[in-house]
Amino acid sequence: MGMLETARRAGGCQDPSPSPGRTRAGLLARPRPFLLIATLSICGTVVSLQQTLMLPVLPGLPALLHTSVDNASWIVTATLLSGAVSIPILSRLADMFGKKRMIMVALALMVVGGVLGGLSHDLVPAIVARALQGASFVVVPIGIAIMRDELPADRVPLGVTLMSATLALGAGAALPLSGVIVAHLDWRSIFWITAVAGVASLLAIWWIVPESPVRSGGTFDYMGALLLSAAVTALLYALSKGTQWGWLSPPTLALTLIGLALLAVLVMVELRARTPLVNVVVAVRPGVMLVNIASVLCGFAMFTNMVGTMQLLQQSRDSGYGLGLDVLQAGLWMAPTGLVFGAWAPVAARIIRRFGDHAALLGGALIMAVTYVGRVFLSTELWQVVCGSVLVGIGVSMTFAAMPNLIMAAVPHTETASANGLNTLLRSVGSSMASAAVAALTTVLVVTIDGTRHPAFAAFEILFAIAAAASVVAAVVTLPLMRSGRPGAGASERAIGAEGDVHSVHGVDNRSVEGTAT
């Protein structure tokens, strides 16, 4: 009792002992693991779907909204920035006030954005709508934290794997679906579809998912939220506009320097905060820092696969290497990459249970590295492009399954949502870097054929080589983690050696509570 009382006072945690009503009525009402996993995974897929659904429509938006290409690009930029800001804030609030509650808030914002976008005929309302929908990005990291709280230990690897897979599963499904919408419906139907899907997800969460009693307590770090939001916005905006402005242009350099300076101030502020938005002491632990570095690199490799492959499939045959497919055809050939995430989830979960999270992360990174090396030389035939994309998808599936488990094994139980939120944010940074790299290479390296400019095939060769190098580095940073974890132990089955942590993950009756790391 003394240790638990000390942990509660230090971290502001609620009493982990279930109340009599919770013990009987709560356990009887607890959903089956499969139902909980399915509900959260479907919601994650819906969120990922709405993130990507607008991308194929973007080239036609300037004409549809009677605006410039630069202004229309804000439809995507606003979603990216909103997601980057909302992930750390809402995930921290989830740890403090309830994970189910914050998922419902995020999905409600997604529905409001869908309705606003469906009714809009001008640029500004459409941008606001997409910004509101960007808040739903946080559903995946909070959903992973809920699984850790609610699932039996032996089901956590499968649940986390499926939840992580939704990031690519929804993106893969969005590409052909967007093609169908563009061909047969008004473009604003995208907003209505996401609104309806959001309502269904909201009702499913309310009806099926229980609220976890694990809370961190404390007060919200408003200064940390302001600094982190400003820093991330400056850096991501510089990444998204670097190709257009020039990577060495004054605006790009100014935004980059401002973002880095704000991050430095954020670290100093968070070290002094009683309940920091970002627990810097925990974040610099090797078990957390190395996984977050791998997250940036794997996010780069994942998005390079999605964007690079789509461009290869849609590139004109006049370029000498393109396959000349339209949006719908290219989306259908990308579907196997998205489906492999879901199909590979049980395999990845078995690998984690048998060999450990570290081995899964290392193996997935090596699969991506080897595949990307092959894609440098084998990317001219349709079967080569599709097979290469699917193999990268298998590697990404393994890394995405392992990283949340490794993060949760290295942080207090009361910080799982916020720690996974930061990991997801860094993955988004990696994706933004990949998007910038694709745009820069395909703009700089071009060939002119019959008076028409096309990206040179060398641009894709260099892109895949960079992705291979990123995957190799991700594998290298995993090696120190191999020494810290015993084979065959998933994160959900290991005790955390952090000071003040008390672990137990086998249901409500022995739910774990940790004090806030200081």
Query: Last residue of some domain: 237, 272, 307?
Result: 272
**In terms of domains, do 190 and 226 share one?**
no
The packing angle between helices 99-119 and 139-150, to 10°, is 150
Query: Last residue of some domain: 272, 298, 314?
Result: 272
**In terms of domains, do 302 and 416 share one?**
yes
CATH number at residue 293: 1.20.1250.20
User: Structurally, how many domains does the chain consist of?
Assistant: 2
**In terms of domains, do 251 and 358 share one?**
no
The confidence score (pLDDT) of residue 10 equals: 38
Dist CA 253 CA 238 (whole Å)? 8
**In terms of domains, do 230 and 298 share one?**
no
DSSP H/E element including 448: strand 446-449
**In terms of domains, do 317 and 390 share one?**
yes
**In terms of domains, do 64 and 194 share one?**
yes
**In terms of domains, do 108 and 244 share one?**
no
CA dihedral angle for residue 482, residue 487, residue 488, residue 494, rounded to 10 degrees = -70
On whether the pTM is more than 0.95, the answer is no
The confidence score (pLDDT) of residue 289 equals: 93
The confidence score (pLDDT) of residue 29 equals: 54
Nearest Cα residue to 154 out of 488, 411, 460: 488
> Long-range pairs for 150-154 at CB < 8 Å and ≥24 separation?
150/30, 150/36, 150/209, 150/210, 150/212, 151/33, 151/36, 151/37, 151/492, 152/33, 152/506, 152/507, 153/490, 153/492, 153/493, 153/505, 153/506, 154/353
Residue span of the structural domain in which 477 resides: 2-221+273-514
pLDDT mean by block of 10 residues, the chain; 518 residues: 39 38 42 87 88 76 81 84 90 91 95 93 90 91 90 84 79 74 80 93 93 79 92 90 87 94 94 88 89 94 90 87 84 84 83 90 96 94 94 92 89 85 88 87 85 88 96 94 56 40 36 36
- 53, two tokens: 């659904």
**In terms of domains, do 160 and 239 share one?**
no
The confidence score (pLDDT) of residue 317 equals: 87
Check: CB of residue 407 under 8 Å from CB of residue 419.
Answer: yes
The total of other beta-carbon atoms located within 10 Å of residue 247's CB is 13
- 302, two tokens: 């994942």
**In terms of domains, do 402 and 510 share one?**
yes
Dist CA 67 CA 459 (whole Å)? 30
**In terms of domains, do 190 and 233 share one?**
no
Check: CB of residue 353 under 8 Å from CB of residue 157.
Answer: yes
Buried (b) or exposed (e) across 16-50, using 16+ Cβ within 10 A? bebeeebeeebeeeeeebeebbbbbbbbbbbbbbb
Query: Last residue of some domain: 205, 239, 272?
Result: 272
**In terms of domains, do 316 and 372 share one?**
yes
**In terms of domains, do 246 and 317 share one?**
no
